[in-house]
Amino acid sequence: MTTRGARRTDTKLSDGRDLIYYDPADAPVRVPLADTRGLAAPKPQVDLRTDPLTGDVITFATHRNTRTYLPPADQCPLDASTPDNPTEIPDHDYNVAVFANRFPSFAGPGRTEVVCFTSDHNKSFTDLSQGQARLVVEAWADRVAELSARPDVEYVFPFENRGREIGVTLSHPHGQIYAYPFLPPRIRTLMARAREHFEATGGNLFADILAAERKDGIRVVAENATWTAFVPQAARWPVEVHLYPHRQVADISELTETERDDFVQLYLDVLRRFDGLYDDRLPYIAAWHAAPVRVDRELGYLHLELLSIRRAADKIKYLAGSESGMGAFISDTRPEDVAETLRKVGA
């Protein structure tokens, strides 16, 4: 079937997990090939416990300790399948593929999925064409809409980890989607702050932050007609950039065609600035922040937070005593200086 700018093809893997292909809308109809691996049905072991001190939900997923870890390039489970390497994608090629994680962090309530950005093992999101990156956005939007409709999901979180320093165990260009059966701690905090701000001012916290950053301009890295990228004034991470649409929307599925196009243009621009910072691929986490599925939805404001733990060309920011023990960040970099440097990288 066709979903706005993409053609979607649904199939199943041999253990019953869902696999979805996303191709350009004008691509030929895909006839999915069968997964010949004969995998046994997964039996995830997940236990959710609430910390009585903080109210945070901690997930214990002990089966994940046996997940695939840094396989050789010719045995990557996210590549398209070959006779010598049958993979999670049982086809000779693909554009974007999404499948239920074989080693999920949530099972029963909630869901975790893997999003493969391209079949090219050696690429990064930074290397994608405008059209290919746009196809990833279509896949994100479709999955967010579908997962948000599930009764066991409270928050949908698409994200990407890049680089071994971040903890990536598969080098193929991919991200994940966590459909949490609870509100993650950061979102609980953000929504509490957003409600306080609304009750005090009548305004939307995120919209007011964006307006202030655009007016000041000193921390703006780049912008276009519908999006702005800026370093937040209280950035926690050595390199941190937030990308905001100029219009308040709850999640990716609500973006217009123009907003999706403009996001891709700006995001690829910012990623290339990241890689130009030290003339190397910067390890990063790209974290979509959206409104909760049910509660405080009117207070949410879709945006992407992009961060790196590299504080210099040869140094990593480790979360040590103050950060890990007290949650109090101490930064080695000044947001205004980071913004200026990133602007110059793209000049």
**Mind telling me the catalytic residues?**
174
Structure tokens at 160: 């990407």
Residues near 177 by beta carbon (within 8 Å), at least 6 away in sequence:
98, 112, 113, 115, 140, 143, 144, 147, 156, 157, 158, 159
Going by the DSSP 8-state scheme, the letter that residue 144 receives in this structure is H
> How far is residue 264 from each of residues 39, 68, 94, measured CA to CA in Å?
37, 31, 20
Q: How many Å apart are CA 166 and CA 23, to the nearest integer? A: 30
Q: How many Å apart are CA 111 and CA 109, to the nearest integer? A: 7
Which one, of 66, 158, 71, 73, lies nearest residue 117 by Cα? 158
Look at strands 57-61 and 220-223 and give their pairing: unpaired
Look at strands 174-180 and 155-162 and give their pairing: antiparallel
In three-state form (DSSP H/G/I as H, E/B as E, the rest C), the secondary structure along 107-127 is: CCCCEEEEEECCCCCCCCHHH
Beta bridge partners of 285: 161, 307
Beta bridge partners of 85: 82
Q: How many Å apart are CA 305 and CA 234, to the nearest integer? A: 13
Q: How many Å apart are CA 246 and CA 5, to the nearest integer? A: 22
Q: How many Å apart are CA 132 and CA 95, to the nearest integer? A: 8
User: Cα torsion for 345, 169, 106, 103, to the nearest 10°?
Assistant: 150
Which one, of 310, 302, 238, 323, lies nearest residue 279 by Cα? 310
